[in-house]
Amino acid sequence: MHYGEIKNCDIANGEGVRVTLFVSGCTNHCKNCFQPQTWDFEFGRPFTAETEEELLTMLKPDYINGLTVLGGEPFEPSNQRSLLPFLRRVRETYPKKNIWCFSGFTYEELKTDGSHPRCEVTDEMLDQLDVLVDGRFVEELKDISLRFRGSSNQRLIDMKKSREAGELQFLPDRKR
């Protein structure tokens, strides 16, 4: 897996102060994507053991609320296989920090056998998440007043509450 960027002290991609990893590779190719360079699976730098250590160090301060993974597309199958071991490490090292993930795929696509993004690690990767922001960016539904997303079809799924309830639960839909 490659990544295009790492942001420390990011406040735009989830609640609180976050460390953000932008992975490379995306087959969704949303019209007017804000980062089309990340569609290329080879864009940026290789995600290495050193990259993991750098991220874990950035996550250490108490003022960091958690990790956000976006892209590109974290739920491309090859990216899932690389990210899952890292997300496990984050969970084990910092159990009180939360993990957000942005995906152009919907939760339903991720859970549907035979769909492009679904693979042998998808369920476990979803289990590592506290929040999933799902759905492709749709230019015609663009709304800059929405929290943490660009178009009104995208959802802020509270994964912890969804697992407890056995059905999708959403974060409150407050404006920015």
With respect to residue 170, please indicate whether it lies within any of the assigned structural domains.
no
Question: What's the pLDDT score for residue 73?
Answer: 97
With respect to residue 174, please indicate whether it lies within any of the assigned structural domains.
no
For the CA atoms of 65, 66, 72, 78, the dihedral, rounded to the nearest 10 degrees, stands at -170
Q: How many domains does the chain have?
A: 1
With respect to residue 103, please indicate whether it lies within any of the assigned structural domains.
yes
Please give the residue range of the domain that contains residue 143: 2-32+44-165
pLDDT in tens, 71-86: 999 999 999 999 999 9
With respect to residue 37, please indicate whether it lies within any of the assigned structural domains.
no
DSSP state of 175: B
Q: Are the CB atoms for 26 and 71 separated by under 8 Å? A: yes
pLDDT in tens, 30-43: 888 878 899 999 99
With respect to residue 39, please indicate whether it lies within any of the assigned structural domains.
no
Which residue is listed with tokens 């950035």?
A: 58
